[in-house]
Amino acid sequence: MPVIRAQSGLITQINVFTVPAGGQDALIGYLSRAAEVAREVDGWISASLHRSLDGTRVVNYAQSADEEAARRVVRHLMDRGLIQGNKAYGQANPGLYDVVFTLERED
């Protein structure tokens, strides 16, 4: 399960894909299979996929225990051709992030 908490030490990879019309489902299927492979890496924590309501983007929100674990996940996926393969589905814009602020509604 994703953990969104400031100062947790976790590293989040956020990758925003721009996809052609009708391309969301194919990319989501591909990324779901890639997440199953990433899960094999020590330090991998979670992956969450989001589809935009306008049908033009897919966001992959993946978390690792630390920066080195995040880099191990990327290497693992690259070694299996899964990073290169996602280019067939759309334009990727990846980045590694550290959560620095969160705010929740108090009930």
**Is residue 102 one of the residues assigned to a domain?**
no
Render pLDDT for 79-100 as a digit per residue (tens, 0 to 9).
999 999 999 999 999 999 999 9
**Is residue 40 one of the residues assigned to a domain?**
yes
Q: Domain range spanning residue 45?
A: 11-97
Do residues 73 and 43 touch, judged by C-beta distance below 8 A?
yes
The vertex-30 CA angle with 28 and 20, nearest 5°, equals 60
| Dist. CA 55–CA 77, nearest whole Å | 26
**Is residue 5 one of the residues assigned to a domain?**
no
Render pLDDT for 35-80 as a digit per residue (tens, 0 to 9).
999 999 999 999 999 999 999 999 999 999 999 999 999 999 999 9
Total domains present in the chain: 1
Domain containing residue 53: CATH number:
3.30.70.100
**Is residue 2 one of the residues assigned to a domain?**
no
- Say what the pLDDT of residue 67 is: 95
